[in-house]
Structures are given as structure tokens and as C-alpha cells.
């Protein structure tokens, strides 16, 4: 299949870009595709720790660009699954260590060897984001159901459109179904109403995301939580499969659910 290069971005920091990148990379590799995940956040790298590959770094993307090593020397193979690689970036450098042209060149080389190249973008709308997005064809925008995150998502969608990335799909992360039910959180429909962009997944807020990052084991390796299911579904949709959206309303933590449980209804 023709390689697809996808940048995972958000504008606002801390909404789950890196977690999404790691989980989708693993899920796509488990589907049998050849996948490489690139850390595009020079100076604040984190994809390595989220994937649990931090102890295996020898060379980084910046070393490749500076000619210190070949591209395949910087690719860390994830031994937990077939066909999954991660390219770390440099921690002790600044954003200008990788230019848009250099990123484009690296992506061009990877295109020949992989089905999917996922690029974890830094937060922000400046050079770091632009360079990370330079080599991508498509974009996944991650947001949470909060005013600040949705506002930044709107800004980043505008920028991605002007960069002619397509398709641009939205992931709503960390939604709390019981809060939505109470009317105390923006719902999926609210966010879509405002952003007018294609939805590709809704990931419920889940403690398993924290424990998996503690251990450096992306959920999609084996976990069976609802967040895991949500990430697996997104991976399937990326591959063009029609997967119905999970019904999150049967959440057992809601007030009415507690009442129902108490009264045995």
C-alpha cells in the first residue's frame, strides 16, 4: 500500500498527543502494517518514555540530519510487536535543529519502507509544529472537551488547512461520560458543532492511560480498558474500516447509574 504520513497535533499541550501517537502506532503495527513513529518534539522528547523505549536510544533524528549516523541506525525496533519502529529526537537541542526541508527529506526516505509514518508534533503553532507537520500528508487533531483545548484545536485546524493537509480528523480525548450526562462537560456533539471537522474517535478518560504511561507500555499492546478499545477503533477507522462509535453512556460512575444500581433497576 502507498505510505501514509500522519502528523498528530493539538495546539494546546497536555491533551494526549504523545499517548495517541504511541497507542495508534502499536495498534496499526498489530494490524499488520509497517509503522514508524517519529518524535517531532525536539528538546522535549517524550515518545520514547511513553513507548518504554528510552533505554534503547543511541542515535536520534538530529544525528541523522547532521550526518552522524544513517537513518536506519536511529530507528529503534519495538520488539514487543512486528514491524514497529520509533525514531527519537534530541533532548539537548532546540527546535531549530530540524528544519521543514530536512523533515520532508526524512519522510521521503521513510515513505519507501513503511505503510504508516506517525509524527508526534510539539504543542504550539510556531516553527516546531510547522517543521513536524512539513512532511505529513494528513493530520490527526487531538483535543479534550475543554474551552481552551477546543479553541486551540480550532486554530491548529485553520493552520493545517492552509498547509493543505487532508484529511484532517479529530480525536476527542479524556471525555467523562458521567459529566457529559450531567451537562457539566462539552459533549462530542458540542465539540463537533463548534469545530466542523471529521470525527475519527472519542477516548474516554481512563486511569489505565496513567498506569500504562507509568510502565511505558502503550495500552494497545494488551490492555482491555475502554480507552484501549477506543484507540483500537481509531486505528481501524484510519485504515478505512467503518467501526461504530462506542456507546459511552452506559458509564457506571454516573449519579443515575448509582441510583439504578441501588434500586436494582
Partner 1 sequence: MFDFLKNLFSGEKSGDVAKERLQLVLIHDRNDIAPEKLEALKVDMVSLLKKYLEIDEMGIRMELERRNKSVALVADIPLKSSQRQIRGRKKNG
Task: List residues binding partner 1 (CB under 8 A).
Answer: 146-147, 150-151, 154-155, 158, 179-180, 182-187, 190, 193-194, 255
Grid cell 502494517 — which residue? 33
> Minimum CB separation from partner 1 for residue 241, in Å?
31
Please state, as a whole number, how many other Cβ atoms lie within 10 Å of the Cβ of residue 133.
Answer: 23
d(Cα 201, Cα 231) in Å, to the nearest integer?
8
> Minimum CB separation from partner 1 for residue 176, in Å?
11
> Minimum CB separation from partner 1 for residue 46, in Å?
28
> Minimum CB separation from partner 1 for residue 154, in Å?
6
Residue among 70 and 261 whose Cβ is closer to partner 1: 261
Of 65, 64, 91, residue with least CA distance to 75: 64
How many CA atoms lie within 13 Å of 242's alpha carbon, on the beta-carbon side? 0
Residue 203, Cβ density class (10 Å: 0-12 exposed, 13-18 middle, ≥19 buried):
buried
> Minimum CB separation from partner 1 for residue 180, in Å?
7
Residue among 105 and 190 whose Cβ is closer to partner 1: 190
Residue among 70 and 253 whose Cβ is closer to partner 1: 253
Give the 3-state secondary structure of residue 66. Answer: coil
CB 194 within 8 A of CB 200: no
Residue among 143 and 233 whose Cβ is closer to partner 1: 143
d(Cα 47, Cα 38) in Å, to the nearest integer?
8
Residue among 70 and 182 whose Cβ is closer to partner 1: 182
Amino acid at each position: 500500500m502507498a505510505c501514509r504520513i500522519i502528523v498528530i497535533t493539538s495546539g494546546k499541550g497536555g491533551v494526549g498527543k504523545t499517548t495517541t501517537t504511541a497507542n495508534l502506532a502499536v495498534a496499526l503495527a498489530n494490524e499488520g502494517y509497517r509503522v514508524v513513529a517519529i518524535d517531532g518534539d525536539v528538546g522535549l522528547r517524550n515518545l520514547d518514555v511513553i513507548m518504554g523505549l528510552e533505554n534503547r536510544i543511541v542515535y536520534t533524528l538530529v544525528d541523522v540530519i547532521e550526518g552522524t549516523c544513517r537513518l536506519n541506525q536511529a530507528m529503534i525496533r519495538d520488539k514487543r510487536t512486528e514491524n514497529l519502529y520509533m525514531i527519537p529526537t534530541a533532548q539537548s537541542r532546540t527546535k531549530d535543529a530540524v528544519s521543514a526541508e530536512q523533515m520532508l527529506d526524512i519522510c521521503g526516505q521513510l515513505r519507501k519502507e513503511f505503510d504508516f509514518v506517525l509524527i508526534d508534533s510539539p504543542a504550539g503553532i510556531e516553527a516546531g509544529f510547522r517543521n513536524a507537520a512539513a512532511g505529513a500528508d494528513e493530520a490527526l487533531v487531538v483535543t479534550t472537551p475543554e474551552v481552551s483545548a477546543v479553541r486551540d484545536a480550532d486554530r491548529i485546524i485553520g493552520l493545517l488547512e492552509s498547509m493543505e493537509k487532508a484529511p484532517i480528523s479529530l480525536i476527542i480525548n479524556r471525555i467523562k461520560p458521567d459529566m457529559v450526562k450531567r451537562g457539566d462537560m462539552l459533549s462530542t456533539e458540542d465539540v463537533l458543532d463548534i469545530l466542523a471537522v471529521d470525527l475519527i474517535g472519542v477516548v474516554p478518560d481512563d486511569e489505565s492511560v496513567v498506569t500504562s504511561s507509568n510502565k511505558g507500555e502503550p495500552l494497545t499492546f494488551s490492555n482491555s480498558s475502554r480507552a484501549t478499545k477506543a484507540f483500537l477503533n481509531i486505528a481501524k477507522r484510519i485504515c478505512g474500516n467503518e467501526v461504530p462509535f462506542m456507546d459511552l453512556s452506559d458509564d457506571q460512575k454516573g449519579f443515575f447509574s448509582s441510583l439504578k444500581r441501588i434500586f436494582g433497576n
